[in-house]
Amino acid sequence: MSTVKGLRAGRIALVLIGMTLTAATVGAEERFTTERPSSVLLFPKVVNTSETIIEITNTTNLLVNVHCFYVDGQSFGGFPIWDITDFDLVLTRQQPTHWGVGTGRAVDPTDKETGLDPGLIPPVVPGFTGFLACIEVMPSGEPSGANSLKGEATVGQVTQLGDPANHVSKYNAIGIQACGQGGCGGGGTQVNADNVLELNNVEYAACPGGLLVNFAAENGEDIAIGPANPPSVVSTNLTLIPCGIDFENLNPPSTLLAFDLRNEFESPGSTEGIPVDCWFSRDLGDPLFGNQTTIGGLGSFFGSGILRPIGPSLPVLGVANVLHMAGDGSSDTAATNLHFCNEPAAPSSCVEVNSEIRLPTLP
Amino acid sequence: MLTMKKLTLMGAAGALWGLSALLLSPMAHGATYSDAGAAVIVYPKIVVDTDNGVDTVITVTNQANAQTAAHCFYVNANNRCTNTLQACGDSSDCFDPMSGFTGACVTGWIEINFDIVLTPNQPVAFSAFAGFGNDNLPCPGGIGGTNCGRVCSAGGNKGFPCTQNVDCPGGSCIFATNAGTRVPPVGEDPFIGELKCIEADPITRLPVECHCDTDPTQCPCPADLQGTAIIETVLESGVIDTARYNAIGLRPTTFNNGDRELVIGGPSPDPANPALTCLDQPPETRCEYQPCASVLVFDLLFDGAIDPISNVYVTQSSLTLVPCTEDFLRQRIPQVTAQFLVFNEFEQRLSTSRLVDCLLDSQISLIDTSQFNRSIFYAPLQGTVAGQARITGVGGGLIGSAELGYCDPPAPGTGCANAAYNLNQFADREAADFIRIP
Amino acid sequence: MVRLNATWGAPRGSVLRLLAAVALLGLASSAAALPPIEADSASSDLPAGYVVFPKIVVHTTGSVSQPIAAGGTVFDTLIQLTNTDEKNPINVDCWWVNANSHCGGTQSGAICSSNAQCPLGQTCQPRWAVLDFQIRLTPGQPIAFTAASGLNRIPCDTTFPGPGCPGAPANKASGLIRPVPEDPFTGELKCVEVDDDDDPVPANHIKGEATIVSTIAQPTTAPGVTTAAAYNGIGFQADEAFMPTQVPTDPLCLGDLPPGTPAAIHCNQEYQPCPGVLILNHFFEGARTEIGGVVNTELVLVPCSEDLGNPARSAAFTVPAEFLVYNEFEQRLSTRANVSCYRSTTLADIDTGPGPSGDTFSVFAVGVQGTIAGQTRIRGVQQAPAGLGFGLLGVACENYHDGSLTGPILSRDAFNLHHEGFRAEGDAVYLSIFP
């Protein structure tokens, strides 16, 4: 015979056991990551000018709900249009899934997309350029901090032999780990039920204070192609998004950056006041970088720099996509995740910044 | 009460202690010698290739004024085809037209041993190709062997020079003889290998027992052998090119139990106590020979460098390494990893390693790669003419020699004039090495 | 029978005992399962003290033994390294690990990638050789070099000055980056931050990327194809509070010393442990995606543990790798393969043997799995203690073919594998013992 007392005590015990076991699985240094399962995935570069395939996997043995947001990063007249489309996914244990952003994915077991359809995924508009954010949630829509998700994005297209537009690059989604009890250096707590994901090393990891960028001098020779197929050219595109999003009030995030760089001879350079409004995608030859990253301005073939927010601005997250073009006109792109700068002391001065991701209020 | 005898013994003991400490202290230099008499002499590179006019003249000298003997081992390190077991240079030599298969050319190891008996102060020389035997012994002894001096046949002065029988209590004064010497030709032509000679009792073929620490009359333990190797190349034009190096010697300590295991160096029983050495180990592990070097220092000219004097000739060097440890008893092929630390004239450092599988004889720019132009020993890559390579053995000590060649351009390896030289050394190995003889 | 409206207040003893038991259970499980704060394993997005580039590929027109002719595909790998310490110079010790296979297994044998390239009777056997170089980077300095050419002068060394270079000799750059020892070359690059005496230091200032580039050697009328695939070096952060032993024979510990390590060996420097599981998201072999073409994936796996000072030991050391493969139906298949020193394989060749024969029957084949995308979880299987750990590191490359998997490759991309957990058993990297 069971009593309510017993049942209640048993429920409390189960909750405690669950909390304890959950707490026991964290304790490592939760942070922004590009290779560990997380609760929030950010895909900075999602384009439908070619194609982008998104892959997301549930790395746990539990059912996971995911709430995703496409954010259109285009601007008109200098103002970001900040068009948002959201959708939900359900991933069973260990389930990988994928979709092309240009085609989306229907819930139709008879279509050519075999596998358990994770949910109705709308296609983006033709010419879409922006980013994708996916947040792990409870079935009720509240944020969940189970750190279950990993993802990759494959950008580009291939058609036929000899087509100069044959470009494919791939990067890992940027993950934001939930701290969990005692995580994020010891001060972490469980994710609460409100719609604000606090990126503050309490609920979720805080934003890294900067990004480290290794780059080749813009429009310089590609020494890897070298004498085999001259003349070669290399160009780097940086795609950046602010670390902090407000889906509730639809305020497009914006920030101002400084780019402190050095060339191989340690000659320093700096560009201040690079604006990132919602979504930023420019080549290093863009005038915003002040000609300091070009082969003529850099003074060597390679350089390195730190992208850092100015003052109280938000830091950014991003990927670099490098175009390698050979003398016969063929080319390809290669994407890499940017390293996080974690040195708070000067001159790096990469101090973590608290921010938030605000989800739409649940009805 | 102190007596002269006691004082003499004390003095001898003190001198002995001092000698031991000097011989076994962690010296800044290694303890193999190429310029002094030794109890074991090693010739790392013996080469025969009569098709190309190559042979090696080996000299062995007895530095003592008494008869002695050397128990020697040729190690045939020719590579062999896995399918035909024939000697080979590379796998292309291993094609068998009968089967159509090509075997792999892998390291081989064949050992033969022989004895050399030397009269007082006697040098002998022989060619590796021809050997040395009854027909050409300098001191054949017996009735016809009157061309050499006389030595005592037995007794306390056995082996020492004499003029008449009264000089030999317990024995008689006979003509000195090399009888018992039989140096076979090397087993193959072509041949690449090493020669190790151990000063030994001619009857037992084992090292002579020596307990200098307890019986000062036995001091010092025998270290009478010295040797050189002269690699001769007779070119088609009739020009003879020679490259000569000294055999590397292992000098004895004050102890030798005369068994089949020659203990070379080794740790002290208590490294924290500087007064203790490997001589303080139990008899079965007590060192009988001074240790091999911890580091071989190889001063070199990088391959492909233009000779700064002639500005014409191009340098090409080769290096030969053999392990200090050798197990002739169990016929186990010794393997030591040689680590190379290479400095150029800009003090830039590169390193590599290579397995010494019985014997490593290689052009230096082929040590770390199969493509010489990518080697760390290649001058255009290093950017300087000269370099220093410091070589350490992992898993055992190493002994080696080198050759420097000046070659006609454009391609190194054609028409070279060679000179061999010994490697320098640094520090003693802390771990023991062994030579186990059958 | 269930009684409603019971009160919480009485009796509490049993409940308290239950809660106490739960609390004890929690403490016990926490103590057992809660990793130390530094147990976060290797990462590719932070500067580190020990960085591994698992895939380095070279095959150029300048090869002495197998030069690429005009119209053929040349490969080279661009490596970018940066000293992220903006105030101090650092020394970096790097090792090329040459994993080339040779016919007959001897250095003099031709470089090969399959038995078919060797004379009849010889097999294509891997060798394992290690070659090191050392450089000094000025504060904040980036450098880049190709594996085929190396770099014979580091910017800001005494022979290569520049306007921003430090004036003090102690801060100048120095060193020589040797090119890979053979062309063609397959292998990896490992770099450790060290002090002036070549001892590893408790610091984390190295970041790096590798880009594998291929193009068609000119002049030719063949259609142009250039591919580029980039990945981040995998970094192990050093424990900055650890006091190095500075004993050359002591290894770098990735986590703890692995079982079987002799008692006299201690950690020269401690680093983050190797990941417990590698997670590879991929398209199944032969899939046709929205990108176009037909895709397959090449996976490179290398052991976490190495003995760079004794290559023979590493060559004889094998890590069994277990692969759990999930498709989009959540169905799971598994397979195993051995990783000895270096393993580069297409996914389909893991369970079917080298070459295209049988690939359509692989557990990684799209026809077998029935879905486009998959998740493969890879881990090294612990064996009997050997003094070297059984961790694995890896990187993946996708190839997009024209028409079918035997068609020409139109584009490539590379990406780092995800990590989960960490290896509690520990791994070790023994460096060369410099005389």
What are the residues of chain C with a beta carbon less than 8 Å away from any beta carbon of chain B? 63-65, 102-109, 111, 118-122, 129-134, 150, 152, 159, 174-176, 178-183, 309-312, 432-435
Kindly tell me if the per-residue pLDDT of C25 is higher than 80.
Answer: no
Q: Reply yes or no on whether the pLDDT at A325 is more than 80.
A: yes
Please check the confidence at residue C1 and state whether its pLDDT lies above 60: no
Contact residues, C window 247-266, toward A, CB-based 8 Å cutoff: none
Chain A: touching chains (3 or more CB pairs < 8 Å): C
Residues in A touching C371 (Cβ below 8 Å): 114-115
Q: Is the pLDDT of residue A139 over 60?
A: yes
Residue B363 has pLDDT above 80, yes or no: yes
pLDDT bucket at C8, cuts 50 / 70 / 90: very low
Residue-by-residue DSSP string for A104-118:
BB-S-TTSSS-S---
Contact call for A and C: 3+ CB–CB distances under 8 Å:
yes
Specify the pLDDT at position B61: 95
Band of the pLDDT at C29, cuts 50, 70, 90? very low
Do B337 and C312 lie within an 8 Å CB cutoff? yes
Report the C-alpha gap between A281 and A47 in whole angstroms: 11
Of the listed ranges A66-70, C7-11, C253-257, the least confidently predicted one is C7-11
Dump pLDDT digits (tens) for C83-139: 999 889 999 999 999 999 998 888 888 899 888 888 888 888 888 889 999 999 999
Q: Where are the beta strands (DSSP E) in C48-184?
A: 50-58, 73-83, 90-98, 101-103, 111-112, 124-126, 129-137, 142-146, 174-175
Q: Are residues A266 and C143, on separate chains, in Cβ contact within 8 Å? A: no
Asked whether the beta carbons of residue B354 and residue C174 sit closer than 8 angstroms, the reply is no
Q: What mean pLDDT comes out for the span B231-241?
A: 86
List subunits contacting chain C, requiring 3 or more Cβ pairs under 8 Å.
Answer: A, B
Lowest mean pLDDT across A109-113, C10-14, C141-145:
C10-14
Mean pLDDT of C143-155: 93
Give percent of chain B with pLDDT exceeding 90.
47
**What percentage of chain B carries pLDDT values higher than 70?**
90
Q: What is the mean pLDDT of the segment spanning B91-120? A: 87
Mutate one of B105, B343, B353, B426 to test the C interface: name it (highest C CB count within 10 A): B353
Q: If pLDDT is split at 50, 70 and 90, which confidence band does A46 have?
A: very high
**Whole-angstrom distance, CA of residue C239 vs CA of residue C255:** 10
Q: Rounded to a whole number, what is the distance in Å from the CA of C60 to chain B's nearest CA?
A: 13
Assess whether pLDDT exceeds 50 at residue C20. Answer: no
**A196 has a pLDDT exceeding 60:** yes
pLDDT band at A1 (very low <50, low <70, confident <90, very high): very low
* CB–CB contact C122 B104 (8 Å): yes
pLDDT of B98: 85
Whether residue B355 and residue C175 make contact (CB cut-off 8 A), yes or no, is no
Cβ–Cβ gap C133/B349 under 8 Å:
yes
Looking at the predicted structure, is the pLDDT value of residue B26 above 80? no
Contacts of A343 in chain C (CB under 8 A): 47, 84, 86
Judge whether A246 and A355 are in contact, CB under 8 Å: no
Q: From chain B, pick out residues whose CB is under 8 angstroms from the CB of C134.
A: 348-350
User: Average of pLDDT values for A207-234?
Assistant: 94
Residues of B in Cβ contact (< 8 Å) with C177: none
Is pLDDT above 50 for B244?
Answer: yes
Residues of C in contact with A209 (CB under 8 A): none
CA distance C73 to chain A (A): 9
Shortest Cα distance, chain C CAs vs residue A253, angstroms: 24
Residue A217 in this model has a pLDDT that exceeds 50: yes
Least confident of A352-356, B12-16, C74-78, C351-355: B12-16
Residue-wise pLDDT for C178-206, tens only, equals: 999 999 999 999 999 999 988 999 999 99
Find the CB nearest C108 among B105, B295, B335: B105
Chain A hits for C37, CB-CB cut-off 8 Å, are: 27-29, 185-186
Q: For the segment A326-339, what is each residue's pLDDT rounded down to a tens digit?
A: 999 999 999 999 99
Say whether B350 and C180 touch across the interface (CB within 8 A). Answer: no
- The confidence score (pLDDT) of residue B146 equals 66
Mean pLDDT of B145-161: 81
Among the ranges given (A7-11, B220-224, C88-92), the one the predictor scored with the smallest mean pLDDT:
A7-11
Radius of gyration of chain C (CA): 25
**Local structure of C388: helix, strand or coil:** coil
For C34-61, write each residue's pLDDT tens digit.
222 234 789 999 999 999 999 999 999 8
Measured in angstroms, the CA of A290 and the nearest CA of chain C are apart by 19
Taking the C-alpha atoms of residue C327 and residue A98, their distance in angstroms, rounded to an integer, is: 11
Grade residue B23 by pLDDT with cuts at 50, 70 and 90.
very low
- Cβ <8 Å between B352 and C130: yes
pLDDT band at residue B117 under the 50/70/90 scheme: very high
State residue B31's pLDDT score. Answer: 65
Distance in angstroms (rounded) separating the CA atoms of residues C43 and C416: 9
Whether residue C230 has pLDDT greater than 90: yes
Q: Kindly report the pTM of this predicted structure.
A: 0.85
Q: Which amino acid is at B233?
A: T
Q: How many Cβ pairs within 8 Å bridge chains B and C?
A: 145
Best C40, C45, C157 member to test A by mutation, with max A CBs in 10 Å, is C45
The predicted model gives C359-364 an average pLDDT of 91
Read out DSSP for C187-250? EEEEEEEE-TTS-B-S---EEEEEEEEEEEPSS--SPP--EEEEEEPEEE-B-TT------TTS
Which residue from A minimizes the CA distance to C400? A158
Mutate to test the interface with B, among C76, C92, C98, C108 (most CBs of B within 10 A): C108
Is residue A28 scored above 80 in pLDDT? no
Q: Indicate the pLDDT class of residue B412, thresholds 50, 70 and 90.
A: low
| Identity at A103, one-letter amino acid code | T
Give the pLDDT of residue B411. 55
Q: Is the pLDDT of residue A179 over 70?
A: yes
So what's the pLDDT on residue A18?
38
Chain A residues with CB inside 8 Å of C232's CB? Answer: 34, 336-337, 339
pLDDT for position C168: 79
What value does the mean pLDDT of chain B take?
85
C230/A162 Cβ within 8 A: no
Q: What's the pLDDT band for A36 if we cut at 50, 70, 90?
A: very high
Residue C241, min C-alpha distance to chain A (Å)? 16
Does C326 contact A at CB distance below 8 Å? yes
Mean pLDDT in residue range A4-31: 45
Q: Which residue of B has its CA nearest to C123?
A: B104
Quick check: B352 and C175 CB within 8 A? no
Q: How many CB pairs under 8 A join A and C?
A: 381
| Cα C377 from Cα C279, distance rounded (Å) | 5
Q: Do C330 and A268 touch (CB under 8 A)?
A: no
Give the pLDDT confidence score for residue C142 in this predicted structure. 94
Pick from A55, A23, A348, B348: which is nearest to C47 by CA?
A348
Q: What is the ipTM of this complex?
A: 0.88
Task: Compute the nearest-CA separation of C153 from chain B (Å).
Answer: 10
Does residue A79 surpass a pLDDT of 80? Answer: no
Q: Which of these, B242, B243, B433, B251, lies nearest to B319 by C-alpha position?
A: B243
Three-state SS annotation for B212-243:
CCCCHHHCCCCCCEEEEEEEEEECCCCCEEEE
pLDDT at C22 over 70: no
Q: Do chains B and C touch (3 or more CB pairs under 8 A)?
A: yes
Q: Which of C26, C34, C138 sits opposite A27 (nearest CB)?
A: C34
Q: Quick check: C122 and B102 CB within 8 A? A: yes
Verify whether the Cβ–Cβ distance C109 to B91 is below 8 Å: yes
Torsion of CA B368, B372, B377, B383, to 10 degrees: -140
pLDDT in tens, A144-160: 999 999 999 999 999 98
Closest-approach residue (CA) in chain C for B371 = C182
Spatial distance between the Cα atoms of A318 and C211, rounded to a whole number of angstroms: 18
Contact B96 C121 (CB under 8 A): yes
> C227: closest CA among A343, B165, B248, A224?
A224
How high is the pLDDT of residue C165? 87
Q: Which residues in chain C are contacts of B373 at CB distance < 8 A?
A: 64
Q: Would you say C426 and C253 are in contact if contact means Cβ atoms under 8 Å apart?
A: yes
Indicate whether B245 pLDDT > 90: yes
Report the b/e string of C62-90 with b at 16+ CB within 10 A.
Answer: bbeebebeeeebbbbbbbbbbbbbbeebb
Q: Which of C108, C130, C178 sits opposite B370 (nearest CB)?
A: C108
Report the range of poorest mean pLDDT among B5-14, C270-279, C302-311. B5-14
pLDDT at B142: 62
Over residues C262-304, the pLDDT tens digits come to 988 899 999 999 999 999 999 999 999 999 999 999 999 999 9
pLDDT band for position A15 (cuts 50, 70, 90): very low
Lowest-pLDDT range, B53-62, B269-278, B375-384, C178-187? B269-278
Rounded CA-CA distance C403/B410 in Å is 49
Q: Is the per-residue pLDDT at A3 higher than 60?
A: no
Query: Would you call A264 and C156 a contact, using CB atoms and an 8 Å cutoff?
Result: yes
Higher per-residue confidence, B12 vs B297: B297
Partner-chain contact C416 A35, CB within 8 Å: yes
- CA-wise closest residue to C394 among C410, C377, C408, C371: C377
Q: pLDDT tier at C19 (50, 70, 90 boundaries)?
A: very low
Mean pLDDT of B329-357: 89
Q: What is the Cα–Cα distance from A189 to A192, expressed in whole angstroms?
A: 8
**Residues of C in Cβ contact (< 8 Å) with B90:** 106, 108-109
Q: Across the interface, do C22 and A27 touch by the CB < 8 Å criterion? A: no
A112, A158, A319: best to mutate for the C interface, most C CBs within 10 A: A158
Least confident piece of the model among A254-263, B233-242, C16-25, C361-370: C16-25
> Among A142-151, A179-188, C130-139, C146-155, where is mean pLDDT lowest?
A179-188
Q: What pLDDT is attached to residue C133?
A: 93
Instruction: Look at residue A65 and tell me whether its pLDDT is greater than 80.
Output: yes
Q: Which helix (H) or strand (E) holds C344?
A: strand C343-346
Does position B413 have pLDDT exceeding 60, yes or no? no
Task: Tell me how close the Cα of B408 comes to any Cα of chain C, in angstroms.
Answer: 21
